[in-house]
Amino acid sequence: MSLSRMLAVQLIKTRFVRRAVRENAGLEIFRKKPTPRVIAGLVLIGASYVLCWPVISALGVFAAYVRQPLWVVAGAPLVWTMTHFLCMFGAYLAGKEHSRAFLKWALRLFVEKHAPDCLPDKIC
């Protein structure tokens, strides 16, 4: 049994995933016009992804240029932490409804692909 199938079988045992499969969870919530708060949250999440690794890479190049590796040793975790908090704040602004809808949809697709014979209405 592959690792992805074992994970899918374990996920099916949770109430959240069983409900997602039973309800045929989709992304309908994303068809509504987003509020400015949701847009701001999504922009912050996107910015956190765009900023993190390029800034850390530039910090590494700078550290090599000045021959001070401490810039990367101390700076990289600091930058990563800042972008992580930026992402979490964006998720907070975007709201739990969007995150929950996306997670339900993604888990439903994963389970249906990797363990189609173990869905809630079937015996695994």
- Joined together, the tokens standing for residue 42 give 């999504």
Q: What's the mean pLDDT when you consider all of the chain?
A: 90
Secondary structure (DSSP) of 52-81: HHHHHHHHHHHHHHHT-THHHHHHHHHHHH
pLDDT digits (tens, 9 = 90+) for 38-48: 999 989 988 99
Q: What is the pLDDT, as a whole number, of residue 97?
A: 87
- Joined together, the tokens standing for residue 83 give 């972008």
b/e burial code for range 89-123 (CB count within 10 A of at least 16 → b) = ebbebbbeebeebeebbebbeebeebbeebbeeee
What's the average model confidence in pLDDT over 57-74? 94
Confirm if 45 and 91 have CB atoms less than 8 A apart.
Answer: yes
- pTM above threshold 0.75: no
Q: Which residue has the tokens 């990563």?
A: 80
